[in-house]
Structures are given as C-alpha cells and as structure tokens.
Amino acid sequence: MKQLKTSSRIMAMILCLVMMFSLSACSEAKESQRQVFAMDTVMSLIAYGPKAESGLSAAESVILSMDAMLDPDLETSTTYAINNANGANVSISGQVAKMLSTADIVYKQTNGALDLSIFPVIERWGFHNSRYYVPTEEELASDLSMRCFDGMVLTSFPSSGSYAVSFPAGAKLSFAAVGKGNAAENAITAMRNVGVTSGLISMGGNVQTLGLKPDGSNWNIAIQDPNNPSTYLGVISTGETAVVTSGSYQRYFTQNGKTYHHLINPENGNPINNTLSSVTIICNDGTMADCLSTGMFILGESKALNYWRTYGGFEMILINKDKHITCTKGLIEKFTLINEDYTLSYTE
C-alpha cells in the first residue's frame, strides 16, 4: 500500500535534487529554500535574489490560505460551504471562480472526463482519508447519481469584482484535481509581486517556475518514472511555465491482489483502466495544466491526442504501460529521454 504523502515526498526530493544540480553553478544569486506541508503534500519552494525570503513568505501564505479555503472537512472552508449550501448561492473568491470556470471548460470539452462533483465516489473508495475500501456496484451507482457539475451556475459581479456559485442540492465537490495548480500559480504571482524574478515551486507532481534560472538559462524539470517512482526517465528544459503530472502510481492501494488507483472514471466510478501510466502537461496556465493532467489521463492516449490537436494551448507527455513515451511536437527540443528502458516518439 502506498499513500500520496509518501509519493509526494519522493517526487519533491527528486525534483529538488535535479534543480539543485542544474543550479549549482549559479552562485551569483542567493538561493533560499523552504518546505511547506499543505494539501496533503510536502511542497518545496525555491527563490533567488535579495527578495527571496520575502517571496517565500508570500508564497507560503498563499498556499496555506488556499489549503484552508479548499479543505472539504473544514467547516470554515469555501468547499464546505458549497457542499452544504443545499442549492443556495455561495460567495466565492476570484481564485475559486477561476478553478471552477477552468474545470468547467475541460469538463465540457472532454464530455465529463474531468468532473469535480464525483467527490462522493472518491470518498467511497477512501482516497480522501486513506481508509481504503472497494465499493459495490450499487454503492457506486448511488454516488454517481450525485454528479451535477453541469448544473453549476457561476455568477460574476463586475462592479464589485466578486463572484457567487450555486450547485443543485446535494452536490459534493472536491478541488483536488485543480487546487494545487491554482495554488502554485497564485504562489508564483505572490513571489513576483514582492520582486522575485527567479524561483520554483514543487508540489509533488505539480511544478511551477518563475522566470528563468539566475544565470538566464532554462529550468530542468525531471519527469518521474511511473514504474520506479524513486527515479526519473527524462528531463524537460523550459522557461516560465507549469509542469503537472497525473499518474496511477501516485496514490493507490492493493486488496486481494488487485491494485486500485485514485484516477476515477466518472462514467462508472471505478479507477480508469486504459493504457496510460502517467500524463504530464506543460502549460503557461497552472490551473489549466492541473485540470488537463487529470482529464487527459481519463480520456486515454488516443482521445487525449485528439483533444490536443483540437484545442491546443499546451504540450503533453503520455507514458503508457508498455514503456512508450509520446510527446507532442512542441517538446522535440525540450524533452531529453534518460531511461533507456523506454522508447520515445513525437506526434503531430
């Protein structure tokens, strides 16, 4: 049995080692680091320059605030308010409005592959609190009947800059598929606002960069090997962007010799069973990257590539169970394969 907390620590450690190695020659800029535990993940924050400590404090404040805002078990959280509103309007922040509107775009474009309202199913499986359980088909059918993301009414009030949202009575949402991406995006903005021009935030499988490295070169972001998560299979060379990975190896449990992972098919409530082991999205918008990483995994290889061809706006790395890696064409000069056990191809 392997829990998300352990996997996230491993991922953060790998990424930090890769970043530290690639930055070891950059002694002209002071490096500051900090670790934060939030959203059930050990997060690594790195900033450079004279404003580094102020930047890290600003980023940490954003992350902890969003953790409290999105915790579905915390009675003062926005998520709790939405899940207990019984159909009434709930006032929400601009951050929550962006997460909901971005998730709604991906929900509609993928025909429901990403659905924030399947939280009852996630709870049933025990992925929310690590009390793992294999549900019956009747239980899953009951939980799936609560899906209602298409019933969302999101309202903006331009004169006041405020927002409100309502869902059908009985709705239960989780922001797990979008929260870290949005938190990283806002934390990077907080760093930038205090004067940091070079930095990085790693939230396990979710990485967001600020600017370039202090010497003006690209960042090197490691991509985890789904078959051996303590190692990595390749490296992306990139500037300021978000790099978000979803994989069946990140959170799972085994019962009676069968393994069940946390990426749930909204159509039947079971862990999705397709050819993929992981999906990595590279996108300037961290919130969108987080949504897409889950949505593309649920869609599977063929449909994910069709989605990319249709909508674009991001690059993608698909790793399948046969140890083949498919990269979109924008990564031809950016992705370097390190693990020779894998084969690599690029697609138009």
47 and 100, same domain (yes or no): no
Q: Which CATH number characterizes residue 194's domain?
A: 3.10.520.10
221 and 332, same domain (yes or no): yes
Number of domains in the chain: 2
Distance CA(201)–CA(210), nearest Å, equals 8
pLDDT of residue 28: 53
185 and 283, same domain (yes or no): yes
Distance CA(277)–CA(160), nearest Å, equals 45
287 and 305, same domain (yes or no): yes
**Residue 173 within a domain:** no
**228, 230, 232, 238: CA torsion to nearest 10:** 140
- Phi then psi dihedrals of residue 36, to 5 deg: -130, 135
150 and 59, same domain (yes or no): no
pLDDT of residue 264: 97
Q: Among 166, 188, 205, identify where a domain stops.
A: 166
Q: Which CATH number characterizes residue 99's domain?
A: 1.10.3980.10
133 and 214, same domain (yes or no): no
**Residue 171 within a domain:** no
Distance CA(342)–CA(340), nearest Å, equals 5
Residue 11: which domain range? 4-70+178-347
**Residue 210 within a domain:** yes
**Residue 98 within a domain:** yes
What are the pLDDT tens digits along the chain (348 aa)? 333 333 444 444 444 444 443 444 344 578 999 999 999 999 999 999 999 999 999 999 999 999 999 999 999 999 999 999 999 999 999 999 999 999 999 999 999 999 999 999 999 999 999 999 999 999 999 999 999 999 999 999 988 889 999 999 999 999 999 999 999 999 999 999 999 999 999 998 899 999 999 999 999 999 999 999 899 999 999 999 999 999 999 999 999 999 999 999 999 999 999 999 999 999 999 999 999 999 999 999 999 999 999 999 999 999 999 999 999 999 999 999 999 999 999 998
pLDDT of residue 8: 42
**296, 299, 301, 304: CA torsion to nearest 10:** -50
- Which of 114, 130, 131 is closest to 293 using CA atoms? 114
19 and 44, same domain (yes or no): yes
Residue 28, CB-side half-sphere exposure with 13 Å CA sphere: 5
62 and 122, same domain (yes or no): no
pLDDT of residue 12: 43
Strand runs labelled E in 241-342: 242-247, 252-255, 258-261, 276-283, 315-320, 324-328, 335-337
**Residue 50 within a domain:** yes
How far from chain centre, in Å, is Cα 203? 8
**Residue 172 within a domain:** no
Could you tell me the two tokens for 147?
Answer: 């899906």
- Which of 250, 223, 239 is closest to 319 using CA atoms? 223
- Which of 314, 281, 303 is closest to 111 using CA atoms? 303
341 and 319, same domain (yes or no): yes
Q: Among 140, 166, 192, identify where a domain stops.
A: 166
Return the H-helix or E-strand segment holding 304: helix 301-311
83 within 8 A of 172, measured Cβ to Cβ: yes
pLDDT of residue 348: 86
How far from chain centre, in Å, is Cα 310? 22
| DSSP codes joined into one string, 6-63 | HHHHHHHHHHHHHHHHHHTT-TTS-EEEEEEEETTEEEEEEEESTTHHHHHHHHHHHH
115 three-state secondary structure: coil
Distance CA(280)–CA(264), nearest Å, equals 17
Distance CA(138)–CA(119), nearest Å, equals 17
**Residue 289 within a domain:** yes
200 and 313, same domain (yes or no): yes
190 and 56, same domain (yes or no): yes
161 and 35, same domain (yes or no): no
**Residue 21 within a domain:** yes
